[in-house]
Amino acid sequence: MEIRAEAVNNAAYSGTKNKQPKEVFELKKKIGLWRGVSILAGIMVGSGIFLSPVGVLAGTNGSVGISLVLWVVCGLFSGLAALCYAELGTTVVESGGDFAYFNAAYGGPVAFAFSSAYLFVMYPTGNAAKAVALGTYIATPFYNGDCAPPTTAIKFAGAAAVLVVTFVNYFSVRNAARVQVVFTIAKFVGLAAIIIGGITRLADGDPVANSNFVNAFDPKALAGLTATQIGLAFYQGLFSYDGWANLNRVTEEVKDVGKTLPRCIMIAITGVTAFYVLVNIAYFSVLTPENILSSKAVAVTFGYRVFGSFGWIMPLAVCLSIFGSLNGSCLAGGRIAFAAARREHLPQIFSMIHVEHITPGPSLLIHNLLVLIMLIPGDFDTLLNSMSFATWIFYGLGAVGVLVLRKTRPDLPRPYKVPVVIPVIVAIFTVYLTIAPLIENPDISYLYGGIFILCSPIFYFLFVYKKLRLPGMDHFTIFLQKFLDVSPTDWEDKLAINASDKSE
């Protein structure tokens, strides 16, 4: 997939009407502490906290106490995994997150497996699942009574949201970050409304609340609970926390990354965990386990039970929350193909940025085009399972990568170092997370990501190692450069430079 640099650069300058850049042409550092926190929290708080409580409760046999413990453990585990990524992100300061870390720790084949799985499986399925959930909430008010909206209306509404998010991120990183801040504030206001409404009912001595918390660890609910069943419940809970690794994917655009990245991670995960636990306590203060298990959207059921005629606030809060999560995923996730293409793991067009907007336009377009394609056949549960299975395989590799880089690249600066025991715990737990669901429910949706990963060495050998180039690819790249007005960045492989300096 190599493209002749001379032809590409000439085309880039012709697309900018012979305007020579006066400074280094690269992604700019526009993300500070609170924008970073809003990106992480905004991505993490999406559809999960409004939908996943049903799955978590079902996975614990309706046990109120165990489900609350599970929400806490999911937050703690996400925090431990995020601390591993804090070290990786401050050691390998390169956009692309996991791709850059795998390339440094394991080499090209593993990095290629991640970038291809992320581009074709993890990003499109995860964001298509969010778009389906968002489309459901947008379309439902237009259909009265028990008449459910048709899937076509749901998917069109979700597709419209994906297009809006793509438009915002394509034209401005700064505006995308501003949108993220606004929607993050809005979604936490919605969560605060749930918490206040639920705690008020709890303080008033609601009989449902008393029954739920007095019998939180009812032996009947605990009977027959298996480790593999809890593993499936973990998938639901961890889906609500997923997104903590996204700031690592834009580290080249983060100010003072050595300090900002770890602080953003700690603030975001601590805050989100506290909100999630309080929201679930609020749910159990108003709804019985049977109410929750029979609900398609527990936040909406809660809203109409507590706020009466003002219950429409909850569907609105869900829509704002999911849209903010889509925007944050687009902002961070679009950098994966960008970083992979810079190392010639993908066509070079994806390594280019817009000469005016300074955004990775081609990468954003291909990522979200695949989201739209995934919307055509997919349903929420299948999309979620496909994403989660592949995602946790690579999170485990990321945790092990911390130890590998300490052994193989001790020369790299490490502004932040995680205790050694943490990546070990994360790696062991991710093995459990990938095996348990296959034992309990060996669905083909889990294998979709795994099969794709196993096939990636073939494509790596052909297109990266052997540098096989499709006929006419050079001309097509030049055409896209002119059409999209994009150009390669001024970029140096700092890892290679450091290694070269050490050998001398």
What pLDDT, in 10s, does the model give residues 335-360?
A: 788 888 888 888 889 889 888 888 88
Structure confidence by residue, pLDDT tens digits, 437-492: 677 666 666 666 677 778 888 889 988 888 888 888 888 889 999 998 988 876 65
Check pLDDT > 90 for residue 407.
yes
Percentage above 70 pLDDT, the chain: 85
Summarize the chain as % helix, strand, coil (round to 5): 75, 0, 25
pLDDT at 19: 47
pLDDT at 25: 52
Helix ranges (H only) for 29-150 are 33-44, 48-59, 64-91, 98-105, 108-117, 123-139
Higher pLDDT, 232 or 134: 134
pLDDT at 442: 66
Token representation of residue 320: 């704002």
Q: Which residues contact 427 (CB under 8 A, 6 or more apart)?
A: 396, 399, 400
Residues written for the chain: 504
- Positive or negative CA dihedral for 249, 244, 86, 268? positive
Structure confidence by residue, pLDDT tens digits, 201-229: 999 888 999 999 988 888 877 777 777 77
The number of beta carbons lying within 10 Å of the beta carbon of residue 208 is 16
Q: Is 459 exposed, middle or buried (0-12, 13-18, 19+ CB in 10 A)?
A: middle
Is the distance from CB of 55 to CB of 201 less than 8 angstroms? no
- Report the C-alpha gap between 309 and 46 in whole angstroms: 24
Is the distance from CB of 131 to CB of 161 less than 8 angstroms? yes
Structure confidence by residue, pLDDT tens digits, 143-183: 765 667 788 888 899 999 999 999 998 888 788 878 878 88
Q: Which residues contact 99 (CB under 8 A, 6 or more apart)?
A: 111, 114, 115, 118, 336, 339, 340, 345
Mean pLDDT of 314-335: 83
The number of beta carbons lying within 10 Å of the beta carbon of residue 440 is 16
- Helix 227-241 and helix 64-91: axis angle, to 10°? 60
Question: How many Cα neighbours within 13 Å face the side chain of 466?
Answer: 10
pLDDT at 7: 39
Distance from chain centroid for Cα 285: 30
Is the distance from CB of 262 to CB of 274 less than 8 angstroms? no
Give the residue from 56, 125, 495 showing the smallest Cα distance to 280.
Answer: 56
- Report the C-alpha gap between 101 and 397 in whole angstroms: 10
Check pLDDT > 90 for residue 274.
yes
**Which of 9-23, 27-41, 411-425 shows the lowest mean pLDDT across its residues?**
9-23
Is the distance from CB of 287 to CB of 296 less than 8 angstroms? no
Core vs surface per residue 101-140: b (16+ CB within 10 A) or e: bbbbbbeebbbbbbbbbbbbbbbbbbbbbbbbbbbbbbbb
Question: How many Cα neighbours within 13 Å face the side chain of 271?
Answer: 20
Q: Which domains does the chain have, with CATH numbers?
A: 26-475 (1.20.1740.10)
Structure confidence by residue, pLDDT tens digits, 89-133: 888 877 778 888 999 999 989 999 988 888 888 888 888 888 888
**Whole-angstrom distance between the N-terminal and C-terminal Cα of the chain?**
31
Distance from chain centroid for Cα 254: 18
Distance from chain centroid for Cα 411: 31
